[in-house]
Amino acid sequence: MKLSTRSRYGLRFMLDLALNCENGAVFLKDTAKREEISEKYLSQLVIPLKAVGLINSIRGAHGGYTLAKNPSEISLKNIIEILEGDLNLVACVKDTFSCDRVSVCTTRGVWAKLGDKIKELLDSFTLEDLVKEHKEKDLLTYNI
């Protein structure tokens, strides 16, 4: 399984919002600059994240984007599923009609279990966990 740039950049965008939430709404151009991601690309990621209620947009001179929930309530799985879609490693795990060999396939169970472990791990991490890790790394960087 290889995650697309949508997930990797989307996660960085969400982390940036979490890191800067105490300063109010965050401008997309500021996140784009800090994260070295195209503002145009980020604007495409905003659409699905907003549609499912993970972020809010605020219009006006002091507008921008904010998290719609506390960082502790947003799992990495929430973000990645929205941006990637189905997290199953092979189609037959979710759609048994996608393969004629489902009933005799020995490997399907392995892919299902592996997919479950990936989802479980992603669900066990929140944006708050990433914020804490980021701050710890910052402390290490400045104390060297």
pLDDT > 70? residue 143: no
Which tokens sit at 140? 């290490």
Please state the φ and ψ torsions of residue 67, each to the nearest 5 degrees: -70, 140
Given pLDDT bands bounded at 50, 70 and 90, which one contains residue 81?
A: very high
Q: Is 16 left (phi over 0), alpha (psi -120 to 50) or beta?
A: alpha
pLDDT of residue 61: 77
Domains of the chain, earliest start first: 5-142 (1.10.10.10)
pLDDT tens string 93-142 = 777 777 778 778 888 888 889 999 999 999 999 999 999 999 888 776 66
Among 56, 59, 88, which Cα is nearest to 74's?
A: 56
